[in-house]
Amino acid sequence: MADAFENILGQPKVREFLRASVVSERVTQAYLFVGPAGSNKTQAAYALAQALMCPKGPRGPRGGSCGACDRCGRILRRKHPDVRYFAPAGANGYLVEQVREIVADTALSPIQADKKIYILDRVDQLGASAANAFLKTLEEPADDVVMILLGRTRESVLPTIVSRCQVVPFRHIPASEAAGIVAQNTGADPAQARQAIEACGGSITSAVAFLRAPGSERLAFRTRLFSDLAMLQRADDWDVVEMARALVEASKAPLDEVRASQEAELAENADFLAKSAIRQIEARNKRQLSAKTSEYLRQTTAMVRSWLRDGLMVACGTPELVINTDVRDSLVALFSGADAAVIAAACSKVDECERALAYNVSPETCLDTLLFDVREVVHGSGRTD
């Protein structure tokens, strides 16, 4: 029978290690999950949280995932107030003040469960000053706290952090295998699965959510984005500005549903929670909205990069290597005989756009600039040289 760890797709050794640790009650209080982007570290962190927090226990039905209790459901939806997710708040990593707030939060009692789980993403962006504010808590966390840190490689994380954690390595999942996993879990064909993975920066879990979005909203946005990119060669400056504005608005549209769900959940529980607990939930909801906004913007830039990458394949005379096969004819019409160096330079503009977004530059300004750069490629004037 499936348990909480079955959702850790493509990582059989990690599944077995975490499952055995929970069942044998040999769970440590600080983990460091290391692996490349798309290796399902975040999903594994939530699976471990679910297994640890299910009130029926790891030896109960489905080993930490009873599938029926409210706690399991909230963690699956990533809405449990005692499972906290954090990402770097600064453009260059975690801020010292951000880490101090996390440390202070660990001293507070759980809101609904008997323990709290803290998931800290991209801890390779935890600098020395921020790490120093965190070391004592990591070394001696409260009895009801479990810390799960996520990073790209063991070497990229400060040694003082690594030495205080149980390191769990995640393997790179080959593209063909990843597409097969996504296809199996969504019913999509392999080509569409690969396209979703490209749109989600290699993340299998995000690709599954991308394909399962209500009303196929993410797929519709992808279609619109690729159509707009193809039309750039005929767009004047005002067209580009309006296109950027509309795309930013469309990319944020799913946030309305997220916000409404958060408000409904808070209203449902407001009568049973202290004011301090309500403030904690409101802060968590704000973090979730910020994370979702960043995720949708990253998907937008990832799709632009994927489209340009396919254009590069066409320009190099290898259209059979195009990933976005549903727009291959359009790509061939636009990029056959194009200058591959110019297209490669445009790809670097996507990286610049993502760095600007990380510095909290206006998303509309970032996308506006990127579309102007891409227009120069498809129009042929070579501004990106």
What are the boundaries of each domain within the chain? Answer: 4-169, 213-379
Among 55, 141, 285, 58, which Cα is nearest to 149's?
A: 141
Q: What number of other Cβ atoms are within 10 A of residue 60's Cβ?
A: 13
For residue 79, the Cα-to-chain-centroid distance in whole angstroms is 16
What is the reported pLDDT for 293?
83
Find the angle CA(11)-CA(13)-CA(14) to the nearest 5 degrees: 65
What is the reported pLDDT for 17?
96
Please give the CATH number for the structural domain made up of 4-169: 3.40.50.300
Cβ atoms of 194 and 323 closer than 8 Å: yes
What is the reported pLDDT for 381?
39
What is the reported pLDDT for 62?
52
What is the pTM for the complete model shown? 0.77
What is the reported pLDDT for 58?
61
- Which pLDDT tens digit goes with each residue over 163-192? 999 999 999 998 889 999 999 999 999 999
What is the reported pLDDT for 74?
86
What is the reported pLDDT for 90?
77
What is the chain's pLDDT, residue by residue, as a tens digit (385 residues)?
467 888 888 899 999 999 999 989 899 999 999 999 889 999 999 999 999 998 876 655 555 556 567 888 888 888 888 999 998 887 778 989 999 999 999 998 898 888 999 999 999 999 999 999 999 999 999 999 999 999 999 999 999 999 999 999 999 998 889 999 999 999 999 999 999 999 998 889 889 999 999 889 999 999 999 999 999 988 999 999 999 999 988 887 767 776 777 677 777 766 666 676 677 777 777 777 777 788 889 999 999 999 999 999 999 999 999 999 999 999 999 999 899 999 999 999 999 999 898 888 899 999 999 999 999 887 763 334 3
Residues 6+ apart with CB under 8 A from 26: 20
Cβ atoms of 33 and 149 closer than 8 Å: yes
What is the reported pLDDT for 376?
87
Helix (H) / strand (E) element for 7: namely none
What is the reported pLDDT for 168?
98
